[in-house]
Amino acid sequence: MEIPSQSAITADNVTLELDGVLYTRVFDPYKASYSVEDADYAITQLAQTTMRSEIGQLSLDHVLKERAALNTNITQAINEAAADWGIRCLRYEIRDIHAPAGVVEAMHRQVTAERSKRAEILESEGQRQSAINIAEGRKQSVILASEAVQAEQVNTASGEAEAILLRAKATAAGIDAVARAIEQGQQSAQNAVSLSVAEKYVDAFGKLAKEGTSVVVPGNVGDIGSMIATAMGVYGAVNKSQATAQAQKSLSDRKSEQGEEHEQKKNSSSSPKDEMAKSVLESFERTQQRH
């Protein structure tokens, strides 16, 4: 049977319009006929009053969310009261719930605001995470760039150091080889070195005008032979000064050695000289005695 629409006030003072459907079964016709005057009307009134009582205990939100529990409670309350009438309530269902227009509009605004709030929170969280990711990416980029620069500088310095060491070793080996060749070749090697110095002198003089606007040249610029002779003279003077220095060093070493030998001889021969002096004096005295 249908339960007519009726008003009910929730625990938060919201007026609702509700109707429902009730399913019953007569299990004792005698009680249904003689215990109550109009069983259908009595069941209908009992369902309405029970529904109002249950609605008054709940807020609007709970009425909408706990509809199944509400139906069960109403069915149980009806069965307790209608047991003496020979009637059993099989099922009760709330069919429609109508809230006031203002309440429905407020609910819509609340839902909209809640969804807008969640959307803004999610958007702000997204922007925050995006900013963090961008900052973290820049940080990692700067760190990697600095590490790359550091590695490049270390590699460059290591390569330059290795190159300097190799050039130094090559130069030392070249100087050693030239020195041995000059020592072995003697006069021929000296002439070859003189020729090389003269060629470099002429080549360097030819490049003077290319490296600046002001050039200082010797007075005999037109005499190539004189220029070569000058270069050879410079080289010869250098060789001569080196030879003189070596000779002076050898002479000083030899003098020091001779001085040491002389001191040793002097110390060792002091006693024979004394004996010789004594013998000379004795022979002189003997000669005076004869005369």
* Same domain membership, residue 94 and residue 33: yes
pLDDT of residue 270: 47
The answer to whether the beta carbons of residues 227 and 220 sit under 8 Å apart is yes
Residue 125 lies in a domain: yes
* Same domain membership, residue 202 and residue 141: no
pLDDT tens, position by position, 161-175: 999 999 898 888 888
What average pLDDT does the segment 63-72 reach?
A: 83
* Same domain membership, residue 93 and residue 20: yes
* Same domain membership, residue 245 and residue 228: yes
Question: Which is more confident, 253 or 84?
Answer: 84
Q: Is the dihedral of CA 154, 158, 159, 164 positive or negative?
A: positive
Dihedral pair phi/psi, residue 14, rounded to 5°:
-115, 130
pLDDT of residue 189: 63
* Same domain membership, residue 91 and residue 18: yes
DSSP class of residue 37 equals: S
Q: Cα 239 vs. chain centroid, distance in angstroms? A: 61
Residue 164 lies in a domain: no
Residue 130 lies in a domain: yes
In single-letter form, the type of residue at position 226 comes to S
Pairing type for strands 87-98 and 15-26 reads antiparallel
pLDDT tens, position by position, 222-276: 555 565 566 556 556 555 665 566 667 666 766 666 666 666 555 555 455 556 5
Question: Highest mean pLDDT: which of 26-30, 238-242, 244-248, 279-283?
Answer: 26-30
pLDDT band (50, 70, 90) for residue 129: very high
Residue 160 has pLDDT above 70, yes or no: yes
Q: Which domain holds residue 68?
A: 2-99
pLDDT band (50, 70, 90) for residue 135: very high
The answer to whether the beta carbons of residues 153 and 147 sit under 8 Å apart is no
Residue 32 has pLDDT above 60, yes or no: yes
What average pLDDT does the segment 72-97 reach?
A: 85
Residue 161 lies in a domain: no
Residue 17 lies in a domain: yes
Residue 235 lies in a domain: yes
What average pLDDT does the segment 181-203 reach?
A: 67
pLDDT band (50, 70, 90) for residue 132: very high
* Same domain membership, residue 81 and residue 6: yes
pLDDT of residue 88: 86
pLDDT tens, position by position, 209-223: 565 555 555 555 555
pLDDT of residue 229: 60
State if pTM tops 0.75: no
pLDDT of residue 121: 92
Count how many domains the chain has.
3
The answer to whether the beta carbons of residues 54 and 75 sit under 8 Å apart is no
* Same domain membership, residue 104 and residue 91: no
Closest by Cα among 47, 107, 56, 37 to 79: 47
Closest by Cα among 12, 88, 84, 6 to 50: 6
* Same domain membership, residue 6 and residue 93: yes
pLDDT of residue 215: 54
* Same domain membership, residue 93 and residue 6: yes
